[in-house]
């Protein structure tokens, strides 16, 4: 939008912030899925809203070019729908995983789900990027519309009869029924009274703030302090993303061991290589250490290739952290007071994550600007911001150690079973 229409970056930034702001409704979507006992319908509805939002966002671009005010109004509507759709689809999906995965399944299920999301983003990005060149507004609208229709159909077919089969499966955990007349505020109040849920909400807000603070400043930091070109800065972000993938895959392998027999594959909990809690705390501490080293590199201005290596390690640490957080989230969502409020808990934590990301992105860029006005050393400015994020990760590690009490898991419980 900034390049094609020569618009101020503030407009694009505001639209992105808006899509995070409306995700406060994650709590509502989670509560509705708890009440209906049919989470699949809300996931499909969320994908439908997300698809419509994406199509309208593409349509707003040529409209902004011709009739600016109408185009901006449509863009505001479309990004609001995107935020609503993400919340409506994502929150019940995580609640579904928490409800029907056993204790030893949760870390594996969460990590695999996140990996599939990243893989889908990568495939879609590469495919759409290839088709879209050379760019035109009409081509973008056609691609977005086609992609929305395809994803909605895939979501519907994937979820069709899934919950019914899980409810009838002997391996599934039977969800508890709740009073459908419970108001959402009362449901939130009951969840907030749970010590672990309350602590985890604070943990999510602080840790995801630390996780997101580096997003808008890492590439400018590489360019302004280390003299990276635009291409080199983009590669730096690639090193971080690859490291994150490796970190998540490593945790999947650490948390699981495979047993292959005739006609079947089962994956069971590997107790020897740690728990989600261990990897959550480890990910926080190593992320803090990586940010500390990056801040030192800013002050010492050493070899640029060393920055690539440290950012890669930072990505691995983030991947370990992400896998630990997702697994812990699924554990805690199903460990409440037995009233089947997985969706409400997921909604509260999802809203905390969305607002933490929105605030952190704004705060980190604002901090760079303010420090830049009062300090003459640009490396010191970035170093202070990275150290601030590192301190948040350290605080998160401490909170993580308080959240989960020891919980005995059955090491032989199936995580995934498929039969020919």
Query: What region, left, alpha or beta, does residue 303 occupy, with left being phi > 0 and alpha being psi -120 to 50 degrees?
Result: beta
Residues 96-122: what's their mean pLDDT? Answer: 77
Of 49-53, 90-94, 299-303, 414-418, the least confident: 414-418
Q: What is residue 337's predicted lDDT score, i.e. its pLDDT?
A: 47
Could you report the per-residue pLDDT of 65-87, keeping only the tens digit for each?
A: 888 889 999 999 999 999 999 99
Cβ count within 10 A of residue 39 = 28
Per-residue confidence (pLDDT) for residue 53, from 0 to 100: 95
Q: Which residues contact 418 (CB under 8 A, 6 or more apart)?
A: 264, 265
Please give the average per-residue pLDDT across 146-152, as a whole number. Answer: 93
All residues at 6 or more sequence positions from 97 whose CB lies less than 8 Å from its CB, including other chains = 106, 109, 110, 113, 330
Please state the rounded mean pLDDT for residues 244-249: 89
- Assess whether pLDDT exceeds 90 at residue 385: yes
Q: What is the mean pLDDT of residues 177-199?
A: 77
Residue 124 and residue 146: Cα distance in Å, rounded?
Answer: 12
Least confident of 36-45, 46-55, 83-92, 160-169: 160-169
- What's the mean per-residue pLDDT of the chain? 81
Q: CA-CA distance, 130 to 220, in Å (whole number)?
A: 26
Closest among 177, 188, 211 to 317, alpha carbons compared? 211
Q: Average pLDDT, stretch 370-377?
A: 90
Residue 37: per-residue pLDDT: 72
Per-residue confidence at 199, pLDDT binned at 50, 70, 90? very high
With a CB cutoff of 8 Å and minimum separation 6, the contacts of 30 are 91, 92, 95, 342, 343, 344, 345, 346, 347, 348, 350
> For the stretch 230-264, what's the b/e string if a residue is b when 16 or more beta carbons lie within 10 angstroms of its beta carbon?
eebbeebeebbbebbbebbebbbebbbbeeeeeee
Which of 20-29, 178-187, 251-260 ranks highest by mean pLDDT?
20-29
Q: Do 415 and 256 contact (CB within 8 A), yes or no?
A: yes
- CA 261 to the chain's CA centroid: 35
Structural domain span for residue 97: 2-419
Task: Give pLDDT, residue 162.
Answer: 83
Q: What is the pLDDT of residue 266?
A: 45
Q: For residue 181, is pLDDT > 90?
A: no
The 10s digit of each residue's pLDDT in 310-346 is 999 999 999 999 988 988 888 888 765 456 778 889 9
Distance separating alpha carbons of residues 376 and 134, to the nearest angstrom: 43
State yes or no: pLDDT of 4 exceeds 60: no
* Residue 249: per-residue pLDDT: 86
If pLDDT is split at 50, 70 and 90, which confidence band does 10 have? low
**Average pLDDT estimate for 239-246:** 89
Q: What is the pLDDT of residue 14?
A: 80
Cis peptide before 416 (omega within 30 of 0): no
Quote the pLDDT of residue 312. Answer: 94
What mean pLDDT comes out for the span 135-141? Answer: 87
DSSP label at 377? Answer: -
The total number of structural domains in the chain stands at 1
List the structure tokens of 44: 């499909």
Q: Which CATH number belongs to the domain containing residue 44 in this structure?
A: 1.20.1250.20
């Amino acid at each position: 939008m900034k390049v094609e229409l020569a618009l101020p970056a503030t407009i694009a930034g505001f639209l992105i912030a808006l899509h995070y702001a409306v995700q406060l409704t994650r709590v509502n979507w989670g509560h509705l899925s708890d009440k209906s006992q049919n989470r699949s319908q809300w996931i499909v509805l969320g994908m439908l809203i997300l698809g419509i939002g994406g199509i309208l966002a593409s349509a707003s671009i040529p409209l902004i070019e011709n009739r600016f005010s109408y185009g901006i109004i449509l863009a505001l509507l479309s990004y609001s729908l995107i935020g609503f759709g993400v919340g409506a689809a994502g929150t019940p999906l995580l609640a579904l995983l928490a409800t029907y995965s056993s204790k030893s399944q949760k870390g594996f299920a969460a990590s695999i789900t996140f990996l599939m999301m990243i893989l889908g983003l990568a495939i879609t990005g590469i495919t759409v990027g290839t088709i879209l060149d050379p760019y035109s507004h009409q081509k973008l609208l056609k691609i977005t519309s086609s992609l929305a229709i395809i994803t909605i159909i895939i979501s519907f077919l994937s979820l069709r009869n899934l919950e019914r089969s899980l409810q009838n499966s002997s391996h599934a955990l039977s969800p508890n029924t709740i009073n459908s007349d419970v108001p959402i505020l009362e449901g939130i109040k009951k969840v907030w009274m749970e010590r672990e849920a309350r602590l985890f909400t604070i943990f999510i807000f602080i840790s995801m703030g630390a996780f997101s603070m580096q997003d808008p400043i890492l590439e400018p930091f590489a360019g302004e302090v280390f003299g990276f070109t635009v291409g080199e800065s983009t590669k730096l972000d690639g090193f971080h993303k690859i490291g994150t993938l490796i970190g998540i895959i490593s945790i999947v392998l650490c948390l699981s061991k495979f047993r292959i027999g005739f006609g079947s594959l089962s994956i069971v909990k590997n107790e020897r290589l740690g728990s989600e809690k261990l990897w959550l705390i480890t990910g926080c501490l190593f992320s803090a250490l990586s940010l500390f080293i990056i801040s030192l590199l800013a002050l010492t201005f050493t070899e640029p290739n060393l920055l690539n290596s440290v950012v890669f390690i930072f990505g691995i640490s983030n991947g370990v952290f992400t896998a630990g957080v997702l697994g812990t989230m699924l554990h805690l969502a199903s460990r409440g007071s037995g009233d089947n409020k997985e969706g409400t808990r997921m909604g509260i934590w999802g809203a905390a994550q969305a607002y933490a990301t929105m605030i952190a992105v704004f705060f980190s860029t604002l901090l760079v600007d303010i420090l830049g006005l009062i300090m003459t050393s640009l490396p010191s400015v970035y170093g202070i911001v990275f150290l601030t994020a590192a301190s948040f990760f350290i605080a998160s590690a401490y909170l993580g150690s308080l959240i989960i009490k020891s919980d005995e898991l059955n090491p032989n419980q199936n995580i995934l079973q498929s039969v020919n």
